[in-house]
Amino acid sequence: MKRSKILLTIGAVIVAIGLVIGAFMFGKGTKNTSSTQGKNDYQLVSTNDQSSDPVAVGNFKLHFGSVEKTTLNDKDKKAKLYVIKVDFENISNDAAGIGALDFRIKDNKGKWHNISSKYTAFGKSFDSNAKGQEKLYFELDNGLTPAKLQYKTVSETATWDFKR
């Protein structure tokens, strides 16, 4: 009887620790944000044809949904967080990988920026014809705005323009 109470107590403690860790990880990417300006602050259009239609690059067909801009209230500086929703489909005959590190943005001053390391980044392999949806997170200092988004594979590069 005493042994089952001890095991029950240990189990409850493990569950409680798991809940605390889960709550911390869930809130990690949002604790320093303030007001969201709204969905679709920008639209991404292909640099080649100024279309927002899906584009095939390497093994994937890519389409970009909403681009959200949020003001970050950091202790040291204010910045903007741009969250870009990307839909993709593996159009190759084999499994292929895609990840957030394959993307970068260029600001209005001409400087390239990689994804923010403060937020969850994705990187996965997808079977042929598999579809997925993920988010890209980029931080830019105040005064900078996004101008271009680039996706680069080993052999191909595609670029999109940010349009208001």
3-class SS of residue 118:
coil
- Tracing tokens 């909403």 back to the chain, one arrives at 66
Average confidence score pLDDT of the chain: 84
pLDDT surpasses 60 at 117: yes
Residue 95 and residue 147 share a domain = yes
In this structure, are residues 134 and 122 in contact, taking their beta carbons and an 8 Å threshold?
A: yes
In whole angstroms, give the CA distance from residue 39 to residue 82: 10
Residue 45 and residue 1 share a domain = no
Higher pLDDT, 96 or 14: 96
Question: pLDDT tens digits for 16-37?
Answer: 444 434 444 434 444 444 444 5
Lowest mean pLDDT: which of 22-36, 93-107, 130-144?
22-36
Residue 94 and residue 13 share a domain = no
| Half-sphere exposure in the Cβ direction for 125 (13 Å, CA) | 4
The boundaries of the domain holding residue 11 are 1-31
Average pLDDT over residues 103-131: 97
Predicted pLDDT of residue 74: 73
Higher pLDDT, 23 or 151: 151
State the Cα angle at 65 between 149 and 161, rounded to 5°: 30
Residue 5 and residue 59 share a domain = no
Tell me the one-letter amino acid at 54.
P
Residue 74 and residue 8 share a domain = no
Please give the structure tokens belonging to residue 28.
């990690």
Pick the closest to residue 39 from 4, 10, 73, 66 (CA basis): 66
Buried b (16+ CB within 10 A) or exposed e, 98-135: bebebbbbbbeeeeebebbeebebeeeebeeeeeeebb
Residue 92 and residue 65 share a domain = yes
Average pLDDT over residues 108-128: 96
Predicted pLDDT of residue 78: 86
Lowest mean pLDDT: which of 29-33, 138-142, 149-153?
29-33
Residue 70 and residue 118 share a domain = yes
- Tracing tokens 């990690």 back to the chain, one arrives at 28
In this structure, are residues 147 and 161 in contact, taking their beta carbons and an 8 Å threshold?
A: yes
Residue 119 and residue 41 share a domain = yes
Question: pLDDT tens digits for 64-97?
Answer: 999 999 999 877 678 999 999 999 999 999 999 9
Residue 143 and residue 122 share a domain = yes
In whole angstroms, give the CA distance from residue 96 to residue 126: 5
Residue 3 and residue 57 share a domain = no
Predicted pLDDT of residue 73: 83
Residue 68 and residue 8 share a domain = no
In this structure, are residues 33 and 71 in contact, taking their beta carbons and an 8 Å threshold?
A: yes
H-type alpha helices, 28-136: none
